[in-house]
C-alpha cells in the first residue's frame, strides 16, 4: 500500500530540509568554524576516494549484479571481472582519460567499447 | 575570471555530464508514478530533495507504505556523503556572497562536486561562478527529465547503455585526481571497500568506502612525508 498523501508530502518536506542542512553545513559555516589542520589534510583525499567509490562498484558487476552478491568465489569473481565487458570498457576509458583529460572523449571511448564488445 | 565567464566555463564542462543523468532522471519520474505517487509529488521530490539515489529509495519506501521516520531517516543517511563535499568545497567558495553560497548549497550533487573540485584544484581563479555553472544545468535537466518520466515512463532504448555514462564521467575526473601514492591508495581503498560493502543497507557503502579511502590516503601521506600540495 502506498503511504497516505500527507505522509508523502511530509517526507518530501523533511527530507528536503534535512538534505539542505547537510549540503549547506560547511559551505555556510566555513570561516566561523575553524577546521583543525588534520581535517583540512584529510579533505584533500576526499575527491580521489569518493570518485573511486562512485566508479568501481559500477564496473565490478557480473550480469548487472554487484560482484559480492553474484555468488562467485573470490578467485572466480576476479577472473570473471577481468574478462568482463564493463571492466574492459572502463580500462580503455581510463587510458583515454589519462591522455586526454576530457570527459566527453572518455564517455565516447567507454560507451563505444561496451557497445562493440556487446555486439561481438 | 569574471562571474559570467566562470559560469559559462562551468556550464560547458557540464554538458557531457548532463547526458549521463538523463536516464536517471526519467527513472526518478517514472518510478514515482509506478509506486503510486502523484506527478506533483514526483516533481516535489525532485525539486525539494534533488538527490537521485535518495529519491529512488524514498519512492521505494513510500510505495511500500513505510513510516515517515524510516523514509526521512533513509533519505538523510544516503545524503550524508554530501557533508564531505560541503567541507571539501567550502574553502573554495568562501569569498562568495552568502546568497550565492546558499543557492550553491541547494544545488550540490555528486556531479557538480566532482567537476568543480577538479577545476578548483587546478585553478586559483575559478570561483563560485564556475561551481554554479556546473550545478545549475544539472538541476534544470533533472527537473525536465522527472516531468518526462512522469508523463512518458522511462523509455530509454535498451541497447543504449546510458547508465554507463555516469561512472565514465566520474572515471574521467578520478584519473587526474590521482597524483601519487597517497591519492592513489585513497582511490584504491575507496573503490575496493565500497565494492565489497555494496550489501550494506541505506546505501551506506559509499560513505563507508569513501571514509576508508580518505584514511588510507592520510596514513600513506603521513608515512611518505606528504604528496599533495595545498
CB-nearest to A3 from B66, B108, B228 is B66
Mean per-residue pLDDT for A71-96?
92
C-beta atoms of B194 and A42 within 8 A: no
pLDDT bin (cut points 50, 70, 90) of residue B1 is low
Mean per-residue pLDDT for B148-163?
75
Per-chain mean pLDDT for chain B? 88
Digit-coded pLDDT (tens) for B54-102: 898 899 889 888 889 888 988 887 888 898 899 999 999 998 999 999 9
CB-nearest to A25 from B48, B86, B194 is B86
Contacts of B188 in chain A (CB under 8 A): 52
Query: How confident is the model at residue A32, as a pLDDT?
Result: 79
pLDDT bin (cut points 50, 70, 90) of residue B229 is very low
Per-chain mean pLDDT for chain A? 89
Smallest CA–CA distance, residue A9 to chain B, in Å, is 7
Mean per-residue pLDDT for B25-54?
92
Query: How confident is the model at residue B159, as a pLDDT?
Result: 65
C-beta atoms of B87 and A25 within 8 A: yes
Query: How confident is the model at residue A35, as a pLDDT?
Result: 73
Smallest CA–CA distance, residue A26 to chain B, in Å, is 5
Q: Is B94 on the interface with A (CB under 8 A)?
A: yes
C-beta atoms of B190 and A53 within 8 A: yes
C-beta atoms of A27 and B193 within 8 A: no
C-beta atoms of B199 and A7 within 8 A: no
Mean per-residue pLDDT for A9-37?
91
Query: How confident is the model at residue B131, as a pLDDT?
Result: 97
Query: How confident is the model at residue B162, as a pLDDT?
Result: 67
Residue B154 has pLDDT above 60, yes or no: yes
What whole-number distance in Å separates Cα of residue B175 and Cα of residue B190?
14
Instruction: Mention every residue, 6+ apart, whose C-beta is less than 8 A from residue B131.
Output: B10, B89, B92, B93, B104, B112, B116
Burial class of B142 by CB neighbour count within 10 A (0 to 12, 13 to 18, 19+) = buried
Torsion of CA B204, B209, B210, B212, to 10 degrees: 130
Digit-coded pLDDT (tens) for B105-138: 999 999 999 999 999 988 888 889 999 999 999 9
Helices (H), chain B: 3-34, 39-44, 52-63, 68-79, 81-93, 98-106, 110-122, 128-152, 165-177, 181-196, 205-224
C-beta atoms of B169 and A12 within 8 A: no
Query: How confident is the model at residue A8, as a pLDDT?
Result: 96
Between B160 and B98, where is the model more confident? B98
Query: How confident is the model at residue B156, as a pLDDT?
Result: 62
Between B190 and A62, where is the model more confident? B190
Contact present, B78 and B207 (Cβ < 8 Å)? no
pLDDT bin (cut points 50, 70, 90) of residue B157 is low
Unique residue bearing C-alpha cell 565494492: B195
Q: Phi first, then psi: give them for residue B107, nearest 5 degrees.
A: -90, 5
Smallest CA–CA distance, residue B130 to chain A, in Å, is 15
Contacts of B216 in chain A (CB under 8 A): 45, 49
State percent of chain A over pLDDT 70. Answer: 99
Smallest CA–CA distance, residue A7 to chain B, in Å, is 6
Query: How confident is the model at residue B230, as a pLDDT?
Result: 40
Select the residue from A15, A29, A87, A108 to test the B interface by mutation, using most B Cβ atoms within 10 A.
A15
Considering only residues 57 to 86 of chain B, which have any Cβ-Cβ distance to chain A shorter than 8 Å? 58, 61-68, 71-72, 75-76, 79-86
Query: How confident is the model at residue A101, as a pLDDT?
Result: 82
C-beta atoms of A15 and B118 within 8 A: no
State percent of chain B over pLDDT 70. Answer: 93
C-beta atoms of B49 and A15 within 8 A: yes
CB-nearest to A48 from B35, B72, B213 is B213
Query: How confident is the model at residue B227, as a pLDDT?
Result: 60
**Domain boundaries in chain B?**
3-160, 178-230
C-beta atoms of A97 and B84 within 8 A: no
CB-nearest to B36 from A2, A41, A104 is A2
Amino acid at each position: 500500500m502506498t503511504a497516505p498523501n500527507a505522509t508523502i508530502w511530509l517526507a518530501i518536506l523533511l527530507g528536503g530540509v534535512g538534505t539542505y542542512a547537510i549540503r549547506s553545513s560547511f559551505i555556510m559555516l566555513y570561516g566561523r568554524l575553524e577546521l583543525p589542520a588534520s581535517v583540512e589534510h584529510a579533505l584533500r583525499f576526499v575527491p580521489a576516494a569518493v570518485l573511486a567509490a562512485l566508479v568501481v562498484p559500477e564496473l565490478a558487476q557480473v550480469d548487472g549484479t554487484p560482484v559480492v552478491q553474484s555468488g562467485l568465489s573470490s578467485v572466480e569473481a576476479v577472473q570473471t571481472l577481468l574478462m568482463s565487458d564493463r571492466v574492459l570498457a572502463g580500462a580503455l576509458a581510463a587510458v583515454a582519460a589519462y591522455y586526454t583529460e576530457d570527459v566527453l572523449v572518455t564517455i565516447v571511448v567507454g560507451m563505444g567499447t561496451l557497445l562493440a564488445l556487446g555486439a561481438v | 575570471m569574471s562571474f559570467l565567464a566562470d559560469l559559462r566555463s562551468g556550464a560547458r564542462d557540464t554538458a557531457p555530464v548532463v547526458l549521463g543523468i538523463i536516464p536517471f532522471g526519467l527513472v526518478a519520474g517514472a518510478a514515482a508514478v509506478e509506486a503510486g505517487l502523484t506527478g506533483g509529488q514526483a516533481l516535489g521530490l525532485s525539486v525539494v530533495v534533488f538527490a537521485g539515489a535518495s529519491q529512488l529509495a524514498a519512492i521505494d519506501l513510500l510505495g511500500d507504505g513505510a513510516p515517515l521516520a524510516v523514509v526521512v531517516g533513509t533519505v538523510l543517511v544516503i545524503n550524508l556523503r554530501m557533508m564531505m563535499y560541503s567541507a571539501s568545497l567550502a574553502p573554495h567558495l568562501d569569498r562568495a556572497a552568502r546568497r550565492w553560497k546558499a543557492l550553491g548549497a541547494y544545488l550540490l550533487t555528486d556531479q557538480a562536486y566532482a567537476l568543480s573540485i577538479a577545476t578548483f584544484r587546478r585553478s586559483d581563479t575559478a570561483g563560485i561562478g564556475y561551481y554554479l555553472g556546473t550545478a545549475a544545468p544539472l538541476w534544470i535537466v533533472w527537473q525536465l527529465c522527472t516531468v518526462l518520466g512522469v508523463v512518458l515512463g522511462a523509455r530509454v532504448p535498451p541497447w543504449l547503455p546510458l547508465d554507463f555514462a555516469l561512472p565514465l564521467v566520474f572515471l574521467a575526473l578520478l584519473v587526474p585526481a590521482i597524483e601519487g601514492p597517497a591519492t592513489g591508495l585513497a582511490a584504491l581503498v575507496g573503490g575496493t571497500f565500497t565494492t565489497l560493502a555494496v550489501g550494506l543497507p541505506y546505501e551506506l557503502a559509499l560513505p563507508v568506502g569513501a571514509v576508508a579511502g580518505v584514511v588510507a590516503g592520510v596514513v600513506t601521506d603521513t608515512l611518505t612525508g606528504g604528496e599533495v600540495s595545498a
